[in-house]
Amino acid sequence: MAREILVHIKAGEKRVVILNNGKIDDFFLEVDNQKTILGNIYKGRVESILPSINGAFVNIGQEKNGFLYLTDAVNPLFEEELSGPRKFFNNLFGAKKEENPESPAPAAPPPEKKHKEQPPPALKQGQEILVQVVKEPFANKGARLTTHVTLAGRFVVYMPYDKQLGISKKIEDQGERQRLRDVLNEFRFIRQGGFIIRTVSQQQKKDDLIRDAKFLVKIWHGIFRTGEKKTAPALVFKEFDLLWKVVRDFLRDDVTQFVIDSNEDYLKVCDFVQKLVGREMLPKIKYYKDVIPLFDARNITKELEKIYDTRVYLKSGASIVIEQTEGMTVVDVNSGKFKVKASPEDAAFMVNLEAAPEIARQLRLRDLGGIIVIDFIDMVKEGHKRRVIEALEEGLSHDYAKTEVNRISALGLVEMTRARAGKTIESISFQTCPYCDGRGRVKIK
């Protein structure tokens, strides 16, 4: 399976396409005038607490206050005296305490309570807290916040305020899981915090995982010190840009080349690769300098335009219609020009089976999230329904966003969810029509 990463840079915009055997498998867009705040860490100030909705509004210096669920406000900083933050800092980074040999041994610590049994911390209005953005502002809502800070690396995720150690559920081989548990037990360079081993860590060397974890701890060290110095509301840590994330998450051994058409960003990517991956990957990074634009030369520009179309045509002549609404995304499968000598049941099954993986791909390319309802062509046989769901789930297995799929209902509908953290590709590229106010039609005079 040949994979390529192509990056097109123009004034105020970065576009990244990942090709799988020449077909667009993933697409990312970053526009300078619509910079994301997803993943940013802020020192915020609690403006109001509303127990009736189990939440608090936190001023992080944005246009609208962020929303923090009280159950998400479990943070060791709350338990520290405001006059002594250095005590928590020393515990976190393993600073040694002076020991008195004549003092009695400390009493055994009380057993830890499970997370669900802990009452939400008593937030106070005006209190300053460290929060991370887990969902972008959407419509009239502010950003969704959490105090459970996470820093994602190439192989591990570091959680400075959570003690758990975990391994991705997608790693199913028990022998490999045990090996990774043994590696986790060697993360002794920090006393507090937790780690999750990412799926891509399979078969990776122990030294690579430890180096990645130490890199994240070093970043957190700087974040914490910056947070101590600043007064809320203030940005403490800005999430890395698109190119950094692409190198971190997608530059693997199966990638044949990483092509970029900006010399300045080419040098940045080479620097990222040396820091995150290693010098052995540098030969795959190539600077494109031909006269013909990179995406035009690879016939990608026209394909990307189709991402914004409501109707997607399949090779068989069938089609998929994708419509976004305020509350959900609706996907309709139509037989269209599909013709085959088969029973209506078998014909419906064939169209649905072809549409299922393409639907998964389109959701990924357009970065659609929230509630999604898919109206497949009606089928009667349970075996056919099961195979269509399996094809959909297989297509979704390549998605980095978390998804959940329900069975086909009696009405032939599939209800599913896809985690929505940022803006959709369409919302970044388009604005509401000033004439029809987004309706797509105008009143006849």
- Residue 204's CATH number: 2.40.50.140
In angstroms, the CA 307 to CA 367 distance is 10
Chain length of the chain = 445
Distances (CA, A) of 365 to 250, 263, 306: 15, 27, 10
Closest of 85, 82, 91, 52 to residue 69, by C-alpha: 52
Q: Which DSSP category does 284 fall into?
A: G
For helices 263-276 and 242-250, angle between their N-to-C axes, nearest 10 degrees: 50
Is there a single domain that holds both residue 160 and residue 261? no
The predicted pLDDT at position 42 comes to 95
pLDDT level of residue 72 (50, 70, 90 thresholds) = confident
Is there a single domain that holds both residue 352 and residue 207? no
Percent of the chain with pLDDT over 70: 88
Q: Which of 96-110, 112-126, 231-245, 308-322 has the lowest mean pLDDT?
A: 96-110
299: left (phi over 0), alpha (psi -120 to 50) or beta: left
Is 113 within the bounds of a domain?
A: no
pLDDT (tens digit per residue) in 343-398:
889 999 999 999 999 999 999 999 898 899 999 999 999 999 999 999 999 999 88
In angstroms, the CA 421 to CA 431 distance is 19
pLDDT level of residue 96 (50, 70, 90 thresholds) = very low
Is 85 within the bounds of a domain?
A: no
Is there a single domain that holds both residue 216 and residue 333? no
Distances (CA, A) of 333 to 39, 208, 313, 388: 35, 45, 10, 12
pLDDT level of residue 254 (50, 70, 90 thresholds) = confident
Is 104 within the bounds of a domain?
A: no
Is 91 within the bounds of a domain?
A: no
Q: How many CB atoms lie within 10 A of CB 330?
A: 16
Is 444 within the bounds of a domain?
A: no
Is there a single domain that holds both residue 47 and residue 182? yes
The order of strands in the sheet holding 13-20 is 23-31, 13-20, 3-10, 255-260, 285-287
Q: Is the pLDDT of residue 114 over 90?
A: no
* CATH number for the domain harbouring residue 10: 3.30.420
Query: How do 370-375 and 329-334 pair as beta strands?
Result: parallel
Residue span of the structural domain in which 425 resides? 309-429
Is 106 within the bounds of a domain?
A: no
Q: Is the pLDDT of residue 116 over 70?
A: no
The predicted pLDDT at position 307 comes to 86
The predicted pLDDT at position 79 comes to 41
Is there a single domain that holds both residue 189 and residue 54? yes
Higher-pLDDT residue of 111 and 354 is: 354
Stretch 327-346: mean pLDDT = 87
The predicted pLDDT at position 97 comes to 39
pLDDT level of residue 427 (50, 70, 90 thresholds) = confident
In angstroms, the CA 368 to CA 339 distance is 30
The predicted pLDDT at position 124 comes to 86
The predicted pLDDT at position 169 comes to 86
In angstroms, the CA 255 to CA 293 distance is 22
Is there a single domain that holds both residue 191 and residue 297? no
Q: Which DSSP category does 262 fall into?
A: -
Closest of 353, 356, 360, 425 to residue 398, by C-alpha: 360
Closest of 354, 358, 376 to residue 366, by C-alpha: 358
pLDDT (tens digit per residue) in 33-54:
777 888 999 999 999 999 888 8
pLDDT level of residue 421 (50, 70, 90 thresholds) = low
The predicted pLDDT at position 278 comes to 82
Q: Is the pLDDT of residue 174 over 60?
A: yes
Q: Is the peptide bond before 233 cis (omega within 30 degrees of 0)?
A: yes
Is there a single domain that holds both residue 260 and residue 298? yes
What average pLDDT does the structure give for the chain?
Answer: 84
Is 108 within the bounds of a domain?
A: no
Higher-pLDDT residue of 192 and 266 is: 266
Percent of the chain with pLDDT over 90: 44
Stretch 302-312: mean pLDDT = 89
In angstroms, the CA 349 to CA 364 distance is 23
Amino acid at 280: E
Is there a single domain that holds both residue 258 and residue 366? no
What is the DSSP annotation of 31-92?
A: EGGG---TT-EEEEEEEEEEGGGTEEEEE-SSSS-EEEEGGG---HHHHS-TT-HHHHHHHH
Higher-pLDDT residue of 80 and 36 is: 36
Number of domains in the chain: 3
Q: Is the pLDDT of residue 119 over 70?
A: no
Q: Is the pLDDT of residue 120 over 90?
A: no
Is there a single domain that holds both residue 10 and residue 149? no
Q: pTM of the prediction?
A: 0.77
pLDDT level of residue 64 (50, 70, 90 thresholds) = very high
Distances (CA, A) of 359 to 323, 353, 369, 389, 426: 12, 10, 13, 12, 16
Is there a single domain that holds both residue 197 and residue 141? yes
pLDDT (tens digit per residue) in 233-249:
999 999 888 899 899 88
